[in-house]
Structure 1
Amino acid sequence: MQHKQYLALALPLTLSTITTPLLGVVDTAVVGQLSDASYIGGVAIGTIIFNTMYWLFGFLRVSTSGFAAQASASLDTEEHVMALLRPFVVAFAVGLLFVLIQQPILHYSLSFLGASDAVNSSASTYFSIRIWGAPFALANYVILGWLIGMSYIKATLVLQISTNVLNIILCILSVHVWDWGVAGVGASTLIAEIFSCVFGIILLRKYAGSIWQHPFVQALRRAVDPKPMWRMMRVNRDLFIRTICLLVVFNLFTAKGAEFGEDVLAANAILIQIHYMMAYFFDGFANASSIVAGRALGERNEKLFSQSLRLSLQWGLGIAVALALLFLVGQKWIYPLFSDQQHIIELTASYANWLVLFPIVASLGLVYYGVFTGATEVRFVRNSMILAALLYLAALYALQPLGNHGLWIAFLLFSLGRSVFLIMYVPKLRRLFQQTAAA
């Protein structure tokens, strides 16, 4: 595979995935134009709660993409169907469970994060509306994962962009026209998540016609067949542990930031949303690497697998430098998009230089992640994330005297650890692939 072919996958996927954090970015930016910093903090807390819930099951998209890519390369039509239905059953069931236990989730989350009463009030409003979209949000992970794994890039792009354009329009209308405040932001995101699921199912009818050709009950029975289901859950177990480590890091980051007051919490919320935009930019290239690695495994093509590693390295580093320079030059125009309060903008700028370093230290970990998931060898991802999280905890403790600057340094060390510790497993991944290809 050459650079042109890789970019033909990566660029549309990047454009698609970059719209994902726009749900949180738009929510933060819209309430940032209101008069009270507690609104920004409330939406930030609410977003953290949903990130916690959904990231725990983010493996549904990642593993679905890997299994679908392998099924696509092997031309196993029946497995195409199962790669979608198995995680879809899990996603909808978990989403319904979240709705049923919403009150305990909200109570314990607010208690853990320890923000002010004003921030908690805004967070509760946002959460109590958006929670009803949980089954649809998790189902969307599966739909997107399957479309990406099967290389239906155009469909992925249309689905993501239409969802986020709808969310942007509704957010602006609900806050600045209808004056619904934080409740309007939550309602806008809820409607966008439901729309995405419905539109995604319509796309599946077009691109996954074989699903509708099978008797539904028979297909569902196959979807919950213990042996293949256990293989999927084994992969997902390791991704689940990886996600728990991520959540520990981000939740501690938010909780520690809240200890420094509402203004610092608001500044961190703005910077962390910019960080998400950067991270999801890399995610588009990781998805491309996942597709290539999954195809290589399905075809037992060692040359293609080596190319996935080489392209991931080259483009990961190139994108890192470009994003760092872009943020360094353009940051003064970015902050006013999130808040019109000058003291919040100035406080945000005082911590921004740490974020310039983020793409440099995190790039390889974020892009190589796609190679490992495409090959469904995710235990290495799990191990590297555990090591990075331990490094973060140690740094967080040691750097407490530096206040919020210490918090950002600890986060950068965590991001660097994700890259370094995962790269250490690349030789072992290559040997395992060679063994599989030779079998």
Structure 2
Amino acid sequence: MKTTDRQILHIALPSIVSNITVPLLGLIDVTIVGHLGAASYIGAIAVGGMLFNMIYWLFGFLRMGTGGLTAQAYGRHDLQESTRILLRSLSISLLLALALLILQFPICSLAFTFIDTSEEVQKLATLYFHICIWGAPATLGLYGFNGWYIGMQNSRFPMFIAIIQNIVNIAASLFFVFSLGMKVEGVALGTLVAQYAGLGMACLLWLVYYRPLRKYLHQKGLFDRTEMKRFFQVNRDIFFRTLCLIAVTVFFTSTGAAYGDVVLAVNALLMQLFTLFSYFMDGFAYAGEALTGKYIGARNHKALTQTVKHLFKWGISLSLLFTLLYGLGGKGFLGLLTDDASVIAASEEYIYWVLAIPLAGFSAFLLDGVCIGSTATRLMLIAMLVASASFFLLYYGLHHTLGNHALWMAFIVYLALRGIVQGIILYRKQLTGLHPLS
């Protein structure tokens, strides 16, 4: 195996494992309350989990922006600046977490004006929310740490942290619920303990394995105006890109609900196939992010070009593999997720859209990683704006005649356009003699 491929897999494989463990935190919580004897407990955890997913999704720029900037500093062998980037990210994470804690009551009240639930579910979900919100400093801090570790070409530490979080979450939640007799509040406390266990693990790993960087902890220039401006510009673009992504995702779900419960269920199950594919492609996107930033920082354009070529070889190969797997076993996979005959029968009308996802979407994931590593975040935002606008225009232009098929067609086009627009802009910059990622 070539050196470039080994470097890509060295970062991608642990990242894929980390991605797969992410939904386990929510799954564990649902499984535990599912044995408490009331559906309202499951509903409360589902609603509470959704709220936090939406909130924390908005702050994903803390991981992505930190990763790209750190990778470039790593490529320049500027350990002092890489340490500054971590400290800036953690400082901003703490301030944002503090804002969430201060605003937790209006945020919760506003959320339930849009979420239609029973009074009991709302009461329990509110309790869950007001306990778990105290994990905001840990969660946002981990975004900074994970981005920094990936930028330092180390995706193993985020994997270790994710595994520790899941182990602690299982143990703590079981203890609080079944040993102390708590219910929803026990699950919330278990999640809270797991979040801080993850942050503690991240700090411990840094202190032990990055000991030489301690000398940079007390340094001037931490909040240098130029560097802070760059940090916020990068993260601003990612933030608005994420808002577009959330708008498309929420619209897809809510619009599918308008076609009835069966179609809503079909869409939700088929999106699990997209999510599974995304876990793998995100792993290679993280590799692209880390290696792109490193080679840009080192001004090694030959290695950068070689890395991007190899990333696309992996992307195309995985896309063909997933297309084959979904074509042969997609229906069987849905059968594992549900035994509802009406949902399985209805899925046959739409499952072929899933076959288009891998080849339509792989370049969007990979080029997102390349753009993050190069801090070309404005390019990402432009591509997302074009793709999102096309999504809504295409759906509203066709939904009267195609119904739910229009929703899936718009989603596939949206995925494809994200990669196409980014690729066109990068190619044009090459033609003009400018290195696209410098």
TM band (smaller chain): 0.7 to 0.9
Query: 1:275 and 1:300 mapped to 2: Cα distance?
Result: 36
**How many Å apart are 1:363 and its aligned residue?**
0.9
In structure 2, the residue matched to 1:17 is: 19
Deviation string 1:54-99 (CA, Å, 9 cap, x unpaired) is 1222111111111111111111121121120111111111012112
Task: Map 1:228-267 to 2 at 5 A.
Answer: 228-259=227-258
Query: 1:266 and 1:32 mapped to 2: Cα distance?
Result: 20
Give SS of 2:369's match.
helix
- What CA RMSD, in Å, does the superposition of the two structures yield over aligned residues? 3.5
The amino acid of 1:128's aligned partner reads H
Query: 1:39 and 1:410 mapped to 2: Cα distance?
Result: 35
Q: 1:116 to 1:65 in 2, by over 3 A?
A: same
Q: 1:230 to 1:285 in 2, by over 3 A?
A: same
Q: 1:262 to 1:57 in 2, by over 3 A?
A: same
1:363 maps to 2:367: no
Q: 1:251 to 1:120 in 2, by over 3 A?
A: farther
Q: 1:132 to 1:428 in 2, by over 3 A?
A: farther
Give SS of 1:223's match.
coil
Deviation string 1:236-261 (CA, Å, 9 cap, x unpaired) is 11111111111111222333345456
Q: 1:159 to 1:228 in 2, by over 3 A?
A: same
In structure 1, the residue matched to 2:205 is: 203
Deviation string 1:380-428 (CA, Å, 9 cap, x unpaired) is 1010001111112223323444555543443333222222222222214
Q: 1:85 to 1:357 in 2, by over 3 A?
A: same
Could you state the TM-score of these two structures normalised by the residue count of structure 2? 0.85
Judge which range, 152-161 or 67-76, deviates more: 152-161
Query: 1:348 and 1:121 mapped to 2: Cα distance?
Result: 35
Q: 1:436 to 1:153 in 2, by over 3 A?
A: closer
Q: 1:29 to 1:350 in 2, by over 3 A?
A: farther
Conservation of the 8 A alpha-carbon contact between 1:23 and 1:167: yes
Conservation of the 8 A alpha-carbon contact between 1:60 and 1:145: yes
Q: 1:32 to 1:302 in 2, by over 3 A?
A: farther
The amino acid of 1:199's aligned partner reads M
Q: 1:159 to 1:177 in 2, by over 3 A?
A: same
Task: Map 1:16-415 to 2 at 5 A.
Answer: 16-24=18-26, 26-27=28-29, 43-114=45-116, 120=122, 123-167=125-169, 185-214=187-216, 218-219=218-219, 222-259=221-258, 268-331=267-330, 334-335=333-334, 352-401=351-400, 404-415=404-415
Which blocks of at least 5 consecutive residues in structure 1 are unaligned?
A: none
Q: 1:314 to 1:152 in 2, by over 3 A?
A: same
Give SS of 1:434's match.
coil
Conservation of the 8 A alpha-carbon contact between 1:114 and 1:258: no
In structure 2, the residue matched to 1:416 is: 416
Conservation of the 8 A alpha-carbon contact between 2:88 and 2:223: yes
Judge which range, 260-269 or 182-191, deviates more: 260-269
Deviation string 1:326-373 (CA, Å, 9 cap, x unpaired) is 345445565576567776777777755533432232111011111111
Conservation of the 8 A alpha-carbon contact between 1:41 and 1:262: no
In structure 1, the residue matched to 2:435 is: 434
Conservation of the 8 A alpha-carbon contact between 2:132 and 2:188: yes
Query: 1:231 and 1:205 mapped to 2: Cα distance?
Result: 27
In structure 2, the residue matched to 1:7 is: 9
Identity over the aligned pairs, expressed in percent? 34
Could you state the TM-score of these two structures normalised by the residue count of structure 1? 0.85
Query: 1:406 and 1:136 mapped to 2: Cα distance?
Result: 41
The amino acid of 2:12's aligned partner reads A
Conservation of the 8 A alpha-carbon contact between 1:61 and 1:141: yes
**How many Å apart are 1:181 and its aligned residue?**
6.3
Give SS of 2:279's match.
helix
**How many Å apart are 1:213 and its aligned residue?**
2.6
The amino acid of 1:234's aligned partner reads Q
Which blocks of at least 5 consecutive residues in structure 2 are unaligned?
A: none
Query: 1:300 and 1:84 mapped to 2: Cα distance?
Result: 22
Q: 1:106 to 1:261 in 2, by over 3 A?
A: farther
**How many Å apart are 1:281 and its aligned residue?**
1.6
Q: How many residues align?
A: 434
The amino acid of 1:427's aligned partner reads Y
Judge which range, 44-53 or 109-118, deviates more: 109-118
**How many Å apart are 1:17 and its aligned residue?**
3.0
